[in-house]
Amino acid sequence: MTTLSNPLRMLFSRAGSYPDGAGQLDSDAFSPNTAAGACPECHGLGVAHTVSEASLVPDPSLSIRDGAIAAWPGAWQGKNLRDILTHLGYDVDTPWRKLPRKHRDWILFTEEQPVVEVTPQRDRVAKPYKGRFWSARSYVLHTLADSQSTTMREKVLRFMETGPCPRCGGSGLTPAALAVTFAGKTIAGLNAVPMTELAEIIRPTTELTAAGTASRKQSSGEGNEVAVAITRDLLQRVTVLLDLGLGYLALGRSTPTLSPGEMQRLRIATQLRSGLFGVIYVLDEPSAGLHPADAEPLRPALVPAPALVPAPAAASAGKLPAGWNCGTSAGTTCAGSTPTSRWAS
């Protein structure tokens, strides 16, 4: 997929429609895997760990005194935070769900850290002391970032939720990169559509002529020569994959989610597109892991290439050429054969 992602990034960098006043971005800026392109919130991962009322307060029927805020620390520290709330005038004995929304939000999410003089309620001999308040979110985030204790970090991790990053919508890209469009879509949008659709979106640009170029507006590079050159290259690459029956895949599909058969065909597509001269490809069972229906599209893709294809298993299914000989004749020398003359054997 990288061989497709690179020209796509180049297309957005050189020929995208930028917002008014925005400077041109490098192609790196359109990859979440680079320092320039990674979303500052999730560092390009596209996922964010967040807290919510439900994650911090799993049982809203409890009062704060009974431990409603499960994410808070236990023991002395937890009692300390509760005492601070009491001194600040909050109700710690009413069930959580009956507290006013404003109070609940402040207790869970405030960035403020008021310091109050606390007289411990539970111990008459204890002396008053200065206590600093931490909202449940501040406490969880602070512990995750700064605690030296693995146990502590694991404990607070249980109160976090994992989901798409709210800043980049899960794309891992910066707001600046997501503001650039091509054919009305962001690069995240194009990464998400099946390649059959991607081909149709870029096809009009590949067909632009010089006359069409002049009529395009200046603020967008979508009609310039660069756009035409890049989209033509991209369309060629995409077409190889469409021919291999992979048109349903989206560019943004991560490698671990691909099946062995899909990986196999992507590798073949990369090889065939590399355009090496004077090379013979020896494809050892290129149909391994493929359903016969998926193996069939390989045939026209392989015909133009001088390829030797020992694939006894596929040949027995009658779907793919088995190279020169197979089955009981396997290993027979094949010097002088031409690939195309053997497809039917």
Q: Is 243 in the site for Zn ion (CB under 5 A)?
A: no
Minimum Å gap between C-beta 162 and Zn ion is 13
Q: Is 99 in the site for Zn ion (CB under 5 A)?
A: no
Stretch binding Zn ion (CB under 5 A), from 63-71, 97-105, 163-171, 319-327: 163-171
Q: Is 38 in the site for Zn ion (CB under 5 A)?
A: no
Q: Which two tokens stand for residue 224?
A: 């310039």
HSE-CB of 272 using CA atoms within 13 angstroms = 26
Judged by CB under 5 A, the residue of 56, 92, 168, 208 near Zn ion is 168
What is the rounded distance in angstroms from the CA atom of residue 33 to the CA atom of residue 172? 8
**Rounded (to 5) percent helix, strand, coil in the chain:** 45, 10, 50
What is the rounded distance in angstroms from the CA atom of residue 143 to the CA atom of residue 67? 19
Of 9 and 79, CB closest to Zn ion: 9
What is the rounded distance in angstroms from the CA atom of residue 127 to the CA atom of residue 222? 72
Q: Is 195 in the site for Zn ion (CB under 5 A)?
A: no
Q: Is 26 in the site for Zn ion (CB under 5 A)?
A: no
What is the rounded distance in angstroms from the CA atom of residue 202 to the CA atom of residue 48? 32
Minimum Å gap between C-beta 177 and Zn ion is 11
Stretch binding Zn ion (CB under 5 A), from 71-79, 162-170, 202-210, 304-312: 162-170
Of 186 and 231, CB closest to Zn ion: 186
Judged by CB under 5 A, the residue of 1, 29, 118, 165 near Zn ion is 165
Q: Which two tokens stand for residue 238?
A: 């995409």
Binding mask 264-303 for Zn ion (x = CB under 5 A): ----------------------------------------
Stretch binding Zn ion (CB under 5 A), from 36-44, 53-61, 99-107, 153-161: 36-44
Q: Is 167 in the site for Zn ion (CB under 5 A)?
A: yes
Q: Is 173 in the site for Zn ion (CB under 5 A)?
A: no
Q: What are the CA-CA distances from residue 306 to residues 248, 277, 295, 338 (Å)?
A: 28, 10, 18, 8
| Nearest Cα to Cα of residue 160 among 56, 46, 40 | 56
Q: Is 309 in the site for Zn ion (CB under 5 A)?
A: no
Of 11 and 42, CB closest to Zn ion: 42
What is the rounded distance in angstroms from the CA atom of residue 315 to the CA atom of residue 286? 11
Q: Is 174 in the site for Zn ion (CB under 5 A)?
A: no
Per DSSP, 19 falls in state P
Q: Is 177 in the site for Zn ion (CB under 5 A)?
A: no
Q: What are the CA-CA distances from residue 117 to residues 83, 84, 88, 132 (Å)?
A: 10, 8, 10, 9
| Nearest Cα to Cα of residue 145 among 134, 136, 135, 156 | 156
Judged by CB under 5 A, the residue of 28, 41, 53, 233 near Zn ion is 41
Stretch binding Zn ion (CB under 5 A), from 68-76, 145-153, 157-165, 277-285: 157-165
Minimum Å gap between C-beta 176 and Zn ion is 13
Minimum Å gap between C-beta 47 and Zn ion is 8
Stretch binding Zn ion (CB under 5 A), from 33-41, 80-88, 218-226, 319-327: 33-41
Q: Is 42 in the site for Zn ion (CB under 5 A)?
A: yes
Angle formed at CA 187 by CA 181 and CA 191, multiple of 5 degrees: 145
Tell me the residue type at 339.
P
Of 41 and 53, CB closest to Zn ion: 41
Minimum Å gap between C-beta 66 and Zn ion is 37
> 9-21 in b/e burial notation, b at 16+ Cβ within 10 A?
bbbbbbbbbbeee
Give the CA dihedral 188, 189, 195, 198, nearest 10 degrees.
-120
Q: Which two tokens stand for residue 266?
A: 């992507």
Q: Is 39 in the site for Zn ion (CB under 5 A)?
A: yes
How crowded is residue 298: how many other Cβ atoms within 10 Å of its Cβ?
27
Chain positions contacting Zn ion, by CB under 5 A: 39, 41-42, 165, 167-168
